[in-house]
Structure 1
């Protein structure tokens, strides 16, 4: 019923962590069916849900073999249905992108069908920046969540994030999705971080869905292949993620 794309104009901002935790947060707060799909070739989304590192099969392998996507689905301990990206060599990644460019329905048809199911929310972790896969499903998206950090490399991209031009939305064109921004790794004791936040708040206003503070528990949870709500449920990160999740649920409810 709802398709949410988690994106970022650059890598290294914690996009996949946010996608995994928000999918889990949606499920924990009573959404009937939550599906998490990994369209990032790094194939890391699965690790947040405790999928063994040795298990490398994913949706891309199912597509290549002409199999149903159901072959790639894994039910997590928190009852989120996870579709890992899968493993590909660099050569096969190029071939896959070429195939998707020629036949967009390889991705769009399956994702649209999943998102159309009653009482279902699909959360897609996309590749950083522009990608063929993301551009294929962007017209289907109900909500796009941009993850950024309060650092110079992201601050310089604020105009592109605000207009969504970093995702191919043309200047002056109205985006066909609700666009929200999440600031990750905010550190009030860091001078750059503290200086950046007022500028971010002024520029994005109501687009700002929430802020997740820098917290070592997130890295520790990932190393343990657990979500931070399981690893450290009373940590600052867990509280921040819950607050962002509440805002996301309200955004979803406003769509319907």
Structure 2
């Protein structure tokens, strides 16, 4: 069993914040930084693999593999040598309810299955989750070494912070192996006063947490339309510096070094 892989949960309290886009670009930034990376999609929207050229009609994923008692590696979508994604998969509503019921009654389902994967011990696992409280979020928080909370620089996102703080306290901070959490302010526009004000308010409210932005770029949507991350689609984009800065934050807090090739 592989107990040494590092796991980073990407979470949010509300939808529409670009969490899957962040997850995909962090996967690519970490991969470009020299690490093997596995993206795990716990969101029933099943969007993570689409950022890497996956197809909308791809049926297999961890949901089907779990329900059919198959090994997860059979459901993996290989992007590149050292970069893979485990999609959520396509299932009907009855199967989804059965799947979620199993997760509710098996608190260590995610941790156990990740530990059993035949992947390199230096692998960094990025876990994409659906917004808000759910059995998927609980699974991710229970096993994550690090948590990145994705939010926007707006009033609605600001109002949801206490809910996420409570969830992290309940499932993360009491664990000896938990290494910390931070807030990623996505789609940040430094030219808007509201964005600046909310970012400053977040930093004042969360003085013990890292609160850093990823700037807005309209090419993000274009990149997804072509089945690519922004890092691949527009390698010269200034926003990529933000993603690589976040990748460095992850690596620094995991205290890992680039593996020998």
| TM-based fold match above 0.5 | yes
Shift of 1:156: 1.0
In structure 2, the CA distance between the partners of 1:78 and 1:28, relative to structure 1 (3 Å rule), is farther
Shift of 1:89: 1.8
Shift of 1:86: 0.1
Check the 8 A contact 2:39/2:85 in 1, yes or no. Answer: yes
Aligned to 2:103: 100
Aligned to 1:48: 51
Aligned to 1:14: 18
Q: Cα RMSD (Å) of the superposition?
A: 2.3
Q: Distance in 1 between matches of 2:136 and 2:163?
A: 20
Q: Distance in 2 between matches of 1:48 and 1:229?
A: 11
* 1:137-148 to 2 correspondences below 5 Å: 137-148=140-151
Give secondary structure in 2 for the equivalent of 1:93. helix
1:202 partnered with 2:204 = yes
Unmatched tracts of structure 2, length 5 or more: none
Q: Distance in 1 between matches of 2:49 and 2:119?
A: 23
Aligned to 1:24: 28
Residue from 106, 128, 131 that aligns with 2:131: 128
Check the 8 A contact 1:218/1:237 in 2, yes or no. Answer: no
Aligned to 2:226: 224
1:169 partnered with 2:173 = no
1:66 partnered with 2:69 = yes
Shift of 1:192: 2.1
Check the 8 A contact 2:202/2:211 in 1, yes or no. Answer: no
Give secondary structure in 2 for the equivalent of 1:9. coil
**Under a length normalisation based on structure 1, what TM-score does the superposition of the two structures give?**
0.89
Q: Distance in 2 between matches of 1:144 and 1:116?
A: 21
Q: Distance in 2 between matches of 1:212 and 1:135?
A: 26
In structure 2, the CA distance between the partners of 1:114 and 1:253, relative to structure 1 (3 Å rule), is farther
Shift of 1:105: 4.4
Shift of 1:88: 1.6
Check the 8 A contact 1:211/1:244 in 2, yes or no. Answer: no
1:180 partnered with 2:216 = no
In structure 2, the CA distance between the partners of 1:34 and 1:234, relative to structure 1 (3 Å rule), is same
In structure 2, the CA distance between the partners of 1:6 and 1:216, relative to structure 1 (3 Å rule), is same
In structure 2, the CA distance between the partners of 1:108 and 1:248, relative to structure 1 (3 Å rule), is closer
Normalized per residue, the structure richer in helix is 1
Q: Distance in 1 between matches of 2:156 and 2:98?
A: 31
In structure 2, the CA distance between the partners of 1:68 and 1:113, relative to structure 1 (3 Å rule), is closer
Give secondary structure in 2 for the equivalent of 1:184. strand
Check the 8 A contact 2:23/2:126 in 1, yes or no. Answer: yes
In structure 2, the CA distance between the partners of 1:160 and 1:104, relative to structure 1 (3 Å rule), is closer
In structure 2, the CA distance between the partners of 1:190 and 1:234, relative to structure 1 (3 Å rule), is same
Give secondary structure in 2 for the equivalent of 1:76. strand
The count of corresponding residues between Structure 1 and Structure 2 is: 250
